[in-house]
Structures are given as C-alpha cells and as structure tokens.
Structure 1
Amino acid sequence: MSESVPQSGASFYESVGGHETFVKLIDVFYDGIAHDPELRPMYPEPELDGAKHRLMTFLEQYWGGPTTYGQERGHPRLRMRHVPYAVTPRARDLWLRHMRTALDAVALPPMYDQAFWDYLERAAHAMVNAPDPQGGTSLPIRPA
C-alpha cells in the first residue's frame, strides 16, 4: 500500500492502492478461512478460488473500483446469498476476526482503515440469520 496522498477526486479504491491492495486483503482473509474448522465448511467449493473472486470483485466495486461483480453477478443481494448458511453471531465474530487480520496486513492509513472496518462490521452484523446453538457470547475480534 502506497503512503502517497490521494489525488483529488480519486476513489477510495484508488486511494488505498487499487487491485493489489484488494488481492492481498482477500488472500490473507481466505488463508485464515482455509484453516478455520468452524468457517471452512460454509465454503462448499473444494478450492476457495471462486469465493475469493466473488468477495474481491464485490469489495472492489463497492469501494469504487471495477464493476466486474455487477457484470458477472448482478445486484449483490447479500442477505439472500447468505440464507443457505447458518450465520450465527459466533460465525460473524470469526469472520470479522479473519477480516481484521487481513485488514491489518494491508496496513491502510487510519482514515481508510476505519472506514473499511466500519463497513465490514455493519455488513457482518447484517448477515446474521441464526442464533448460536449454545447461546454463546461475542468473541473478541483481536485475539488476546
């Protein structure tokens, strides 16, 4: 990620380093998912390449990059696309923990990091569609 000052009128996507930044974010995130015994079963494909592509193109489009996601998949319909999976508060917290690790790895300037994190937290909370089976409590996003 370049520490240069964004050009006037630059999109968030351009300001944080464009495609390379999103590739690193997604690679780090899915490395965590690949090794997570609770979340990995929510990704039924044997390889995570399809999931990586979908999340990366979605995030790139959301933050002002290429419109590949919309061209390939149409409207995001995030809640509808997550209905087949039991997204519990625990799953949300685990997902956010992996995303926090990925966001830390790309080391965005604080203003961009906070905006990105705020969006991720809101989106993750909106995807919850099932209670925790044991009634659990929220996990810390950054492990102690």
Structure 2
Amino acid sequence: MEEKLNKPVPTLFEWAGGREAFEKLFTTFYRKVADDEMLSQVFKNMSPKHATHVAHFVSEVFGGPELYSKNDSGSHATMVGHHISKNLSDVQRKRWIALLLETADEVGLPDDPEFRSSFVGYLEWGSRIAVINSNIAENPVKADEPMPAWGWGETKGPYQG
C-alpha cells in the first residue's frame, strides 16, 4: 500500500494515453467536423495539419512535451491568433464541445470522473476564451507569454483580456 502512495500523480497528458491518444482524438474529431452541418463552414479552410497542431497544443497544455511550441513553432499567442475575427458563436462553441466529447468516448479517452472533470473544465475554459478572442480584432496575448498549463481540477482566475 505504501508503494502506491509514493507514486507521483500523472499529468493529464500521461493519464489520457500520451501523444497517440491526443492525435487519435483530434484526427477522428476533425474528420467529423468536416461533415458536421454547423461546424464544417468554420473549418472549411483548415490546414491538413490542423488536427495534429491542435493535438500537440492540448498535449502540451496537459503536461506533455513541448510539441506545439517546439515542433510546430507555435505559442499561446499563435493559437489565440488563429481565432481573431472569426466571429464564433456560443452555439458553435457548444457544438464543438459536444462533438469532441462524443469523439473522446468513441476513441477511448479515459472516462473516470477526475480526468473528465479536468478535460471538460479545460474545454469550457479554452472554448469560451476562443469565442471572446474571435470577436475582437487584435490578439491580446503577447508573443512571449507562456503556454497555458492545465492539471487535475485546478481552476484559473478570471480571464484578463
């Protein structure tokens, strides 16, 4: 029993299954998005590498390796910049989350309450910020600001736009 207590708590990235799990999730998800009546128009011009970039971003946010910031030459400002002036609606945001959660079940992402609470918390937080940023004309995030970091159930303070 003592050995179990001394094990470090895994990151969300590790618990989910690592890089493969996130790449499978977002590849499957964005295939569905392309066929979704509400979301397909929003993503009609997405790069063939879009799913991989999003998988790398979320992986990094969830405590994984710096795949987005190093391999993809991205940053938090880069990700926010992709949403500027897209005029996303809350209805689209809710559909995006619903489809992503459906896909998470489909591909076998962990469904324990602790992981899902953190996962859904991040999706809610991040997607609401994406909607806010999609309705402004200039990126509020400076190029040198760090990537977000998300863990087990931690909440962040109020959004400072």
TM-score interval w.r.t. the shorter chain? Answer: 0.7 to 0.9
Q: Normalising by the residue count of structure 1, what TM-score does the alignment of the two structures yield?
A: 0.74
Which of 76-85 and 30-39 deviates more? Answer: 76-85
Per-residue deviation at 1:9?
Answer: 4.4
Q: How many residues align structurally?
A: 123
Q: CA deviation at 1:68?
A: 1.5
- 8 Å CA contact 1:43, 1:51 repeated in 2: no
> CA offsets per residue over residues 105-138 of structure 1, 9 Å max, x none?
22412211110111101111111145xxxxxxxx
> Equivalent residue for 1:70?
69
Partner Cα distance (2:65, 2:51) in 1: 16
Distance 1:70 1:80 in 2: 14
Aligned residues of 1:25 and 1:102 also touching (Cα < 8 A): yes
How far did 1:45 drift?
3.4
Q: Which residue of 2 aligns with 1:29?
A: 29
Secondary structure of the corresponding residue to residue 36 of structure 2? coil
Partner of residue 40, structure 2: 40
Aligned partner of 1:43: which letter? F
SS of residue matched to 1:42 = coil
Q: TM-score, normalised by structure 2?
A: 0.67
1:51 counterpart residue number:
50
Matching residue's letter, 2:87: A
Indicate if the aligned counterparts of 1:57 and 1:69 stay in contact, CA closer than 8 A.
Answer: yes
* Contact 1:61/1:69 (<8 A) preserved: yes
Q: Percent identity?
A: 23
User: CA-atom RMSD, angstroms?
Assistant: 2.0
Distance 1:50 1:43 in 2: 12
> Are residue 124 (structure 1) and residue 130 (structure 2) matched?
no
CA contact (8 A) 2:21 2:109 kept: no
Between the aligned partners of 1:102 and 1:41, the Cα distance in structure 2 is 19
Alignment match, 2:87: 86
